[in-house]
Chain A
Amino acid sequence: MDKATILDWYRQMTLIRRFEQRSSELYQLGKIGGFLHLYIGQEAVAVGSINAKQETDHVITAYRDHGHALTIGSDTKLIMAEMLGKATGVSKGKGGSMHLADVERRFWGGHAVVGAHLSLATGLALAEQYNGTDAAVLCYFGDGATNIGYFHESLNLSGVWDLPVLWICENNQYGMGTAVDRHSATSNIMQKASGYNIPAAQVDGMDVFAVHEATQKALSAIRDGKGPQFLEIMTYRFEGHSMGDPLRYRTKEEVEKWREDDPIGILERHILKEKIAGKDELDAIDTAVETELNAAVEFAEASPLPAPEELFTDIYVEN
């Protein structure tokens, strides 16, 4: 792994972290509405895995989607504008925080019905197989999604049809406020994949290198014709499920323990210990991220609201 790549991952993870913190502030100011689900704590998952994909691969995820959108390379300004419901947003202000997408980069959202997008991912993979390409689909979902029918129907069909899809479970230990051992008959989530004959591996989601390596391996297997693959990535969201979460379901001690494994802290310590870069270089990255976010917020705030007639555009392609 070369220095530039590692520093870029650090930049991407820092960008997500700071984007989420800024979003949280803007939410409290009433500038972001609806639900807001922060990705803080899970940054290594999106960054490690999306950086392992090839350009033609597809990405699709659930409503905790800011990290994926930023990592895929969507313009931070346009993402922030979407958060603020502005006409310049990635989804023209019609989608909001949970519905970011960038189809040019093959990022298909941002989906708010738990588990439903696994079926969309199945269809994206079917299209690639149908067209005979070597592209794969990276489909992200939480541990909570592994209990819904969509999960089981999608994994089964991907197995029956040998579809090029990488199922990525971001196991952050809770389906909303319900712990894994209270919501899933097996706490060993990856075991569910074996019921559909899909090879699975468990990965430390706080270690961006481990996530990257596991994703590369799984995508290679898919491209080698070995069919769908499954990763259970062990992670943790440091904040609540969404803004306003009373956090009654977990202890402060538990959160503190996980925070010791902050994925950005781990990467930073690695960079310094291995002398990949000095503190000054990391500080410079932090400053650049801050500048980028300031510009994004400024752009979003200055952007116009959607015009009234936008209510009726894009309902149909052909009216």
Chain B
Amino acid sequence: MARITMRQALTDALREEMHRDERVFIMGEEVGVWGGTYAVTRGFYDEFGPRRVRDTPISEMVIGGAAVGAAMAGLRPIAEFMTINFAFVAFDAIVNHAAKMHYMFGGQMRVPLVLRAPGGGGRQLGATHSHTPDVIFAHFPGLKVVSPSTPYDAKGLLRAAIRTDDPVLFIEHATLYQVRGEVPEGDYVVPIGVSDVKREGSDVTIVAYAQGLQVALEAAEKLAKEGIEAEVVDLRTLRPLDMAPVLKSFQKTFKAVIVEEGHRSYGIGAEIAARIQEEGFDYMDAPIKRVAQEEAPLPYSRELEQSALINVDKVIAAVKEIV
């Protein structure tokens, strides 16, 4: 099996889906001639032409809204926001339109749409370019929110996102593009809304996704050297949320640490912790711990920025508090 980067996995999924289905097309800022600001669509403009690889002006509102409209009319758009920070400008198009059209008109309309957006901090881009706002978008029924942690999942989930008849926000953590992993040849799909156990263990359950999953796995390896076996569950999809593997793991370990890159308050960790106590209260042996971004905007200066973000040491410390 080939070991490829997540960038390559995403590129392959997009290319293969465009060959498979003529209705699939890409639109966004610098997706064409430039080749994508994160080079995910490099070469697509020459391969598919300007009809199917469409450079847009810097106009996030209409990028989001026009993609919804094109999807309503039967196309399968993949609209790219240069970063998820700019998706805030298209917030109305995403939550009021993409997420509501099917329901609000009694099922008459369908929005088979993928909104791709790189996100995450840690790259010294300052406060407005470093958000991990995944939970905000995951708040709204009607939208599916996906964020993969490995090249295998990235390719399979992107295929699923393109093929579903529902709108999907596909969040790619920008620090994961270079992560390598095994990806098989051929047409496989990773279903949306299915969490996945990425590492088995019996002492503590670590729940994570995206870049946090990579941090959690590294922490788990270090903990193993100290005799603590962590089970790591990858959410992969934030909405619809699949709690079954989390609860199953918790019933075995009785302890949980939730790792997310977003801010702690009102976050993924808050939701998972609430769900565990609601549905797994009898198994609870210790407080549920959260490792998340500090409650401050992300600063530019490297060390200061890193101090606000999640890391392996913070995860290890949280585990040791309860194990």
Contact = CB atoms under 8 A, between A and B. Distances in A.
Interface of A: 58, 89-95, 99, 101-103, 108-110, 113, 116-128, 130, 149-150, 153-154, 156-157, 160-161, 313-319
B260 interface: no
A156 B65 contact: no
A103 B110 CA distance: 10
Interface in B207-232: none
Interface of B: 25, 51, 54, 56-57, 59, 61-62, 64-75, 77, 92-93, 96-97, 102-110, 112, 141-142, 144, 164-166, 240
B57 A318 contact: no
Contact of A130 (B25, B64, B67, B93): B25
Contacts of B165: 317-318
Contacts of A149: 61
B166 A156 contact: no
Contacts of A116: 65, 92-93, 96-97
B193 to A, nearest CB: 8
A124 B105 contact: no
Given A116-B97, A119-B66, A124-B70, A156 B57 contact: yes
Contact of A120 (B25, B68, B75): B68
Contact of B105 (A109, A118, A127, A150): A109
B62 A157 contact: yes
A181 B69 CA distance: 32
B69 A123 contact: yes
Contacts of A125: 69
Given A119-B68, A123-B69, A127-B70, A91 B62 contact: no
Nearest to B102: A314
A126 B70 contact: yes
Given A130-B25, A315-B102, A119 B69 contact: yes
A76 B164 CA distance: 34
Contacts of A121: 69
Nearest to B163: A318
A123 B71 contact: yes
B164 A91 contact: no
Contacts of B240: 316, 319
B106 A93 contact: yes
Contacts of B144: 316
Nearest to A112: B96
B107 A313 contact: yes
B87 to A, nearest CB: 14
Contact of B66 (A90, A110, A126): A126
Contacts of A91: 104-106, 108
A124 B72 contact: yes
Nearest to B106: A92
30 contacts: A90-B105, A95-B106, A99-B104, A101-B105, A101-B108, A101-B109, A102-B108, A103-B109, A113-B96, A117-B65, A118-B62, A118-B65, A119-B61, A120-B65, A120-B72, A123-B65, A123-B66, A123-B73, A124-B72, A124-B73, A126-B66, A126-B69, A127-B69, A127-B70, A153-B62, A156-B62, A160-B57, A315-B141, A315-B142, A318-B166
A127 B74 contact: yes
Contacts of A101: 105, 108-109
Given A119-B68, A317-B166, 7 more contacts: A113-B97, A126-B69, A127-B75, A128-B73, A130-B70, A130-B75, A157-B62
- Among B74, B77, B97, B112, which residue has the most Cβ atoms of chain A within 10 A? B97
A122 B65 contact: yes
B67 A99 contact: no
A113 B166 CA distance: 21
